[in-house]
Every structure is written in structure tokens, then in C-alpha cells.
Amino acid sequence: MFVTFEGIDGSGKTTQVELLRAELERRGREVLATREPGGTELGEGIRQLLLHGVDMTPWAEAALFAAARAELVAEQIRPALERGAWVLSDRYFDSSLAYQGVGRDLGLDDVLQLNLAVTGALWPDRTFLLALGAGDATRRRDREPDRLEGELGLQALAEGGYEQVAARFPDRIVELDATRPPAEIAEEIRGHLGLS
């Protein structure tokens, strides 16, 4: 099963990936946990450029995220799914829809088409959207913000972008209140995946 976790920076995605990975491994399942951008040599290089590099145009940003995602799908995600593993991803193309499609005003449909092309139309089976306000997410941060996190206006636009994405794909995306304790959220996630 391919499960993705989405939400603005600081919403608790990484925590939930780790909690679900631990539970699946406890049950004897093979799990690939990954993050975006990253997960491959190319992806990690692109991550550095996107998060700590120079300013760039919106389409260049979208294309770099798509390039990292293409490599991750080809090298890691598809092979893991083909051998029957669970794949848990801290972000996938819904992030690009929210951040670049809506936040950078490139258009949700145009960014979706780019990402479907580079991933061979690989959709997640289930996506958990950890809903948290941009202000709350900023207060949670315990380190210096990266290039994208530092754009508070972008974070607020992405928050609204995620609402649009969730409304567009209600059969796949489960929206969760990320202000609750992580253990409570994890229990709800397990329930949605038939693991309770």
C-alpha cells in the first residue's frame, strides 16, 4: 500500500510516518519510509538546492520538485510496491499542488499534469492531510526556517491549497486535525488503514 502524508511545514507529517512505520514493522510488514524532496542521491541534491539555495522562478521550483519525485518513484517507490512493501511518504505530489499549483499560482491542473507525467501516474492509495494553521505550524518550529518555510505568505497560501486539493480528491484524502496529540492521530490513521 502506498500511503502519503501531507500538510504545511510543522504539521507533524514526519512524526506520523515514523509512528506508522514502527507499527507496521512490529506487525512484520516490510516498509519503505521516505521523504520529499529526497530519498535518492539526485533527490537529496535537489533538496539542498530547493530548501537552502537561491531564489528561483515558480516553474523552476515546480520542475525541480517533479524531477526529485520522478527519481524517487523510479528508484525506490515502484520497486518497493512491486515486491509487496508498504510505502510511506512524507510528502508526494499533493505538496506540489498546494505549494506550487495554488501557492505559486501556477494552476492546480497544470502542476498535476506535470507530476502525473513524471511519476507514470502513480497515485497514492491513501493520503493523510494533517491540517494545521500556518501560525500554529510556525510556533512549533524549533530550528531556523528553510527557504520555503521562511515564506509565511506561501505557508498560508499552501494551507488553503491543501483545502482545495482535499476537496478535489475526497475519496483518497483523509483530513485530520493536527492540533491533537500525536498518539491520538496515529490511532485514527491506523483505523483508516484497517490496522486498529
pTM above 0.85, yes or no: yes
CB atoms within 10 A of CB 196: 9
Model pLDDT, residue 154: 84
Contacts of 73 (CB under 8 A, 6+ apart): 118, 119, 120, 122
Radius of gyration of the chain (CA): 16
Number of CB atoms found within 10 A of residue 65's CB: 26
Model pLDDT, residue 143: 59
**pLDDT tens for residues 6-30?**
998 889 999 999 999 999 999 999 9
Spatial distance between the Cα atoms of 59 and 178, rounded to a whole number of angstroms: 30
- The string of pLDDT tens digits covering residues 62-98 is 999 999 999 999 999 999 999 999 999 999 999 999 9
Least confident residue range of 44-53, 113-122, 145-154? 145-154
- Can you tell me the mean pLDDT for 118-140? 85
Share of the chain above pLDDT 90, in %: 84
Domains in the chain, CATH or no CATH each: 2-192 (3.40.50.300)
Distances (CA, A) of 17 to 32, 91, 120, 135, 185: 10, 10, 24, 23, 11
Separation of alpha carbons 187 and 196, rounded Å: 7
The predicted model gives 176-186 an average pLDDT of 97
* Mean pLDDT of the region 99-124: 98
User: Is residue 139 over pLDDT 70?
Assistant: no
